[in-house]
Chain A
């Protein structure tokens, strides 16, 4: 990219099991105001807004319309990406790069507590072959987990180590929903949900919202002393039918990350990236995704973790925030990862700060078993 897009404001809520003490509009108004304040801008400065949400998760049609007032969209441009928050960020970035907007607000919200998240995820599968089988994000992930674990001889204890790392690290993150001193025994003894995935291997059901302010290069420099730049971005979608895919491979993620690395001029992600915030809804996915993004060789995800490479003090910390295992509002998740990456690069990640973080990766995913993948690289 010859012209860059800057991120000059970020905000996220605390992630909670149930935010029903607050209307969705109240939650969103809060994060939007915080992100604008963080960027030092007001509604008058904002040219366009991109939201991300999915009707079935919100239980209403054209569900972005309920946010019109609170994202400040009256008599402004608003568009909605019906998918992950990183997808909305993509749309926002393109809006700026093509000159249609100088300042774009990206907002994502979800209330997992409102409905039955796994039940809703059944409606993602095609209605002819897969949906009637009762597949949902959990049962499909269990298929992927077994295949991956068998192929690379990964044990359930190995996956549990991912949870241990994330829940322990999440204690440094005041926004985390689940954060506690955890042992592999705790994970191994949690109830089996869909073999080999146990309760603690899975991200919790969460409520939460995020907002960021994107700015054109010129505007970002004018408004911000230390804008964080989007240096690279890639997105890719692979086959829908699980049977069309080798679930232990992930060509979409490999391709999306390659594209992002190319744009950012990254040759060796482990050396050049200072941390990665990865959307792994289940523990095994963190291992699988880190392999597919080229952090380590295939099947070495667990070795990479055991060597401490992905720990908060490691060569390439993965999810110092605790990741999705510590909080997972569906359709927001990727934007949460981006907010965390920005905070790290700004040096404002407080107790979870990675030393000298200059370049970070944020990853988002949509659909089942990582069918759709987003990778963004941010840096100062």
Chain B
């Protein structure tokens, strides 16, 4: 294995639907400087920079060329990772590789997206030019299709889905960076929100947010020197599956890319009972139904029991395994940053800097990323290096 590597600093911008007070580069700068401050470092201490973003949403080519300066990439090793919804976690995994390979002592990863600069629906629609463009109703339509299969297959209910939305938006109130904070949201309100694509309501979907998130990695020696409780990377695994929506049956319950990535990551760390062994999970939930499906895929419970997990409150802040204390992707979703935020929030819990969303005594954290119906990233962070 590579050299022991830990996250020693994180930083996020404020997220909202339109950050008109900054441009993309300034947005990146806001996250990067916050992470440097958190790690008590200066830009001179950073050896390499990885950017993560879905450039077509803002209609840019090679935005790292312009925005890299905001991340302090000037005269440094830098490039950009772009893998759909997993961009933010794949970028985080790349940052880990930079340091774990021994080539760099430190690396900063900045995920960013400024949806309000461009036309995300148009960007999303630019899929397979021969097939999907005429028919698909972007992510939402495809999700709704998968949800109908998932409900039929696993018997999950609308109420259970709405409970995920309530949990997420209430958790988000404890997170000063979160976009959608709704302290009094009820199941009824979720189910009465406008129908986007049957059976998915607006409040069950992720929003589009402007925002950025930065994390700083360091090799073992420096990590121990700079950080009282580094968040060590214990596993970082990616798996891909078919891109054609119709080539995998029951996509949400099948999700074999997530299952396989989790299986490999759990094996690396020796996880046998994820619900008991993890202290926190920050998982990439593009919509409520997906969160329940991921509970099953990640082995938090048996198949068909994801709904029960939410009914029993096991994934609430005071439950056995708090899932998304940050509010998750359905509360805050700057796509290129959404994965990086998961990693940062996971590390934050180990650093003990979670503020009002801090879970007590966090040692082992599960982080996932998800993209384009088929790509999955899984990372495991720990307060102990091995």
Q: Which residues of A contact B (CB under 8 A)?
A: 1-2, 48, 54-57, 59-62, 64-66, 68-69, 73-83, 87, 90-91, 93-100, 120-121, 123-128, 233-240, 251-252, 255, 366-368, 371-372
Given A59-B126, A61-B124, A69-B242: A367 touches B62 (CB 8 Å cut-off): yes
* B384 lies within 8 A of chain A by Cβ: no
- B residues at A contact (CB < 8 Å): 1-3, 23, 25, 54-57, 59-62, 64-66, 68-69, 73-84, 90, 93-94, 96-98, 100-103, 117, 123-124, 126-129, 236-243, 256-257, 260, 371-372, 374-375
Q: Please measure, in the bound complex, the distance between the C-alpha atom of A54 and the C-alpha atom of B82, giving whole angstroms.
A: 9
Q: Are the CB atoms of B76 and A236 closer together than 8 Å?
A: yes
Sort A-B residue pairs by CB-CB distance and give the 10 closest, nearest first: A98-B2, A98-B100, A97-B101, A62-B84, A82-B82, A77-B238, A367-B65, A56-B61, A94-B97, A94-B101
Q: Do A239 and B83 touch across chains, with their CB atoms under 8 A apart?
A: no
Assess A240 versus B240: contact at CB under 8 Å? Given A60-B128, A94-B103, A123-B60.
Answer: no
- Tell me if B240 and A128 are in contact (CB < 8 A): no
Q: How many inter-chain residue pairs (CB < 8 Å) link A and B? A: 195
Q: How far is the CA of A236 from the CA of B75 in the complex (A)?
A: 6
Chain A contact residues: helix, strand, loop or mixed: mixed
Smallest distance from the beta carbon of A34 to chain B beta carbons, Å? 22
B332 to chain A: closest CB distance in Å?
21
Residue in chain A with minimal CB distance to B77: A235
| Minimal beta-carbon separation of A337 from chain B (angstroms) | 17
Q: Shortest beta-carbon distance, A115 to chain B, in Å?
A: 11
**In the complex the two chains form, is B2's CB within 8 Å of A97's CB?**
yes
> Closest Cβ of chain A: how far from B47's Cβ, in Å?
11
Knowing A94-B98, A255-B75, the reply to whether A68 touches B61 (Cβ < 8 A) is no
Cβ-defined contact, A61 with B56, below 8 A:
yes
CB-nearest residue of chain A to B124: A61
State whether B61 touches A57 (Cβ < 8 A): yes
Q: Determine if A62 and B239 form an interchain contact, defined as CB atoms under 8 angstroms apart.
A: no
Q: Which residue of B lies closest to A129 (CB)?
A: B66
CB closest residue in chain A, given B95: A94
User: Judging by beta carbons under 8 Å apart, are A75 and B240 in contact?
Assistant: yes
Task: Please give me the residue from chain B that is nearest to A128 by CB atom.
Answer: B23
Instruction: Give min CB distance, B343 to chain A, whole Å.
Output: 15
* B224: min CB distance to chain A, Å: 19
Decide if A64 touches B65 in the complex (CB within 8 Å).
Answer: no
Indicate which residue in B59, B83, B97 contacts A64 across the interface (CB closer than 8 Å).
Answer: B83
Q: When the two chains form their complex, are residues A125 and B66 in contact, meaning their CB atoms are under 8 A apart?
A: yes
A74 to B75, CA, bound (A): 37
Q: A68-B374, A75-B239, A81-B81 are in contact. Are A123 and B65 (CB under 8 A)?
A: no
Contacts of A91 in B (CB 8 A): 79, 81, 94, 97
CA distance A238 to B49 in the complex (A): 13
15 A-B residue pairings within 8 Å (CB atoms):
A55-B55, A59-B126, A60-B129, A68-B374, A69-B242, A77-B238, A80-B81, A81-B79, A83-B62, A94-B100, A99-B1, A99-B2, A235-B78, A240-B68, A252-B75
Contact A60 B126, beta carbon cutoff 8 Å: yes
A126 CA to B56 CA, complexed, in Å: 14
Instruction: Decide if A75 touches B62 in the complex (CB within 8 Å).
Output: no
Tell me the smallest distance from the CB of A377 to a CB of chain B, in Å. Answer: 14
